[in-house]
Amino acid sequence: MTDLTPNNSFLIAGIVFITIAVIGKSKLAFIEINPGFFGRVLALFFGISSLLYALGLLNFSAGTLDLLRTSLTEQIKQSISSINELLQRS
């Protein structure tokens, strides 16, 4: 049997939260689930965020953030220079 890693835990939690958000009011054996509108929206938010984390889309390391920041600053500099060139031509 496989170990329950944090990635699997977030995947299972995401599926459970999405199920609660979609089904809403239901009765499962002796447990009645009735989250209401705010509970369903909150479950949808938690479900989507935990699924994204399980897929690795929200799992940023410090190196990734630094690389993203430098690439964004380079793109901004290039955009500003191209905008300045367009303004000088007109």
b/e 53-77 (16+ beta carbons within 10 angstroms → b): bbeeeeeeeeeeeeeeeeeeeeeee
Q: Which residues pair with 33 in a beta bridge?
A: 26
Q: Which of 14-28, 30-44, 53-67 has the lowest mean pLDDT?
A: 53-67
Enter the pTM of the model.
0.52
Q: State the pLDDT at residue 46.
A: 87
Q: Which residues pair with 26 in a beta bridge?
A: 33
CA Rg value for the chain? 22
Q: State the pLDDT at residue 28.
A: 67
Q: Sort 33 into a burial class: Cβ within 10 Å, 0-12 / 13-18 / 19+.
A: middle
